[in-house]
Amino acid sequence: DADVTQTPRNRITKTGKRIMLECSQTKGHDRMYWYRQDPGLGLRLIYYSFDVKDINKGEISDGYSVSRQAQAKFSLSLESAIPNQTALYFCATSDFRAKNIQYFGAGTRLSVL
Amino acid sequence: GQSLEQPSEVTAVEGAIVQINCTYQTSGFYGLSWYQQHDGGAPTFLSYNALDGLEETGRFSSFLSRSDSYGYLLLQELQMKDSASYFCAVRDTGFQKLVFGTGTRLLVSP
């Protein structure tokens, strides 16, 4: 089983719909992250969390929200999806003792029509 | 803030050596990391340099010069499976999160 699991792997939705992407991890890491990847733009940080009570905005948080339900679970929501949120989304985790090493899930490919 | 620059694409042939450069501008510095991502796959950690010099891991090596704000990833004995995108990343000292470059696509041909 994967250490960092994202669901769903693919999702097609319509403009204005609410969407939730889920991430769970079995690595026991305290830190979790949500990234968005667009062609030519690399990985851009949406939100990150260093523990259950700590949530921080990244560089592109507008239009997104997150919930850290437990140390192992970190979900990303699009309250009202729009077409320019079509992208590949990755969840990642890291341990406070090795902050430069992040472990990524397989990604969720989201299309907003 | 942080910014990183790396070439958008590099091409090479099997068996060759290729170097992927990364220059960065940061308000502080806590190490340079490299990640590999195959098409349709997840980024995976390759190497990390906190101090100046060369770190070697099998066919891959990573170099850092903090005085030049520069690093590179060296791939030796290239194989077709090395065709992927490679990202450099630095850690943001204020918020302890990684900032990624835009990636270098490596194409290895026979």
How would DSSP label each residue in B41-89?
S--EEEEEESSSEEEEETTEEEEEETTTTEEEEEE-S--GGG-EEEEEE
Count of H-run helices and E-run strands, chain B: 0, 11
Q: Which residue of A has its CA nearest to B6?
A: A42
pLDDT tens, B44-92? 999 999 899 999 989 999 999 999 999 999 999 999 999 999 999 998 7
Specify the DSSP class assigned to residue A27.
S
Contact yes or no for A111/A19 (Cβ under 8 A)? no
> Which chain B positions have a beta carbon within 8 Å of A101's beta carbon?
33, 45, 48
A window 28-67, beta carbon within 8 A of B: 33, 40-45, 48, 50, 56, 58
Angle at A11 between CA A26 and CA A103, to 5 degrees: 30
Contact A100 B89 (CB under 8 A): yes
Query: Which tokens sit at B58?
Result: 């099998």
Confidence label for B1 from pLDDT (cuts 50, 70 and 90)? low
Distance CA A4, CA A72 (A): 9
Contact with chain B for residue A2, Cβ under 8 A = no
pLDDT tens, A35-79? 999 987 889 999 999 999 999 999 899 999 999 999 999 999 999
Residue B2 clears pLDDT 90, i.e. is over it: no
Confidence label for B20 from pLDDT (cuts 50, 70 and 90)? very high
Residue B42 clears pLDDT 70, i.e. is over it: yes
Contact yes or no for A74/A49 (Cβ under 8 A)? yes
Residue B94 has a pLDDT of: 59
HSE-up of residue B88 (Cα within 13 Å, Cβ side):
28
The residue written with tokens 């969390």 in the block is A49
pLDDT tens, A5-35? 999 999 999 999 999 999 999 999 999 999 9
Of A40, A41, A99, the CB nearest to B96: A99
Residue B95 has a pLDDT of: 57
pLDDT tens, B95-110? 568 889 999 999 999 9
Other C-beta atoms lying within 10 Å of the C-beta of residue A22: 18
Greater pLDDT, B94 or A45: A45
Distance CA A60, CA B14 (A): 39
Contact yes or no for A109/A42 (Cβ under 8 A)? no
Residue A34 has a pLDDT of: 97
Residue A94 clears pLDDT 60, i.e. is over it: yes
Contact B97 A107 (CB under 8 A): no
